[in-house]
Amino acid sequence: MLHILIVEDDSLTAMYLEDVINGISTANIVIRASVADTKKALNKCFDVAFLDVDVTNGKTFDVARALQRKQIPFVFVSGSSRAELPDELQSAPFISKPFLPNDIAGALYSVLSGHRER
């Protein structure tokens, strides 16, 4: 079973993303809506994370950096522009909203297969 973190402050989008992921694989999914709550959850082990850029009380850049340090793959799923990402996060996978289920499935398979090859 996969352990997946979703950081999304729009509850409908978070639920839709959760449904899409559960349609792909059996997963234990943790959803957080703010940077502060997400930082508390980072002590858990995740296989992959899906991050909106702009969430309650800030941007998820520090969360992304923490995931990088832990070697946990992540994908930005955001209505923001990729150009807003700091230089060190520019190469991270990025899906623009609105997204299709196949976008999420492709990203999930891609980051997990790339992570396992390391």
pLDDT digits (tens, 9 = 90+) for 48-61: 999 999 999 999 99
Q: Where are the domains of the chain?
A: 2-117
CA–CA gap between residue 118 and residue 116 (Å, rounded): 6
pTM of the model: 0.94
Q: Which two tokens stand for residue 92?
A: 């991270």
CA–CA gap between residue 47 and residue 83 (Å, rounded): 26
Per-residue model confidence as pLDDT tens digits over 1-40: 999 999 999 999 999 999 999 999 999 999 999 999 999 9
CATH class held by domain 2-117: alpha beta
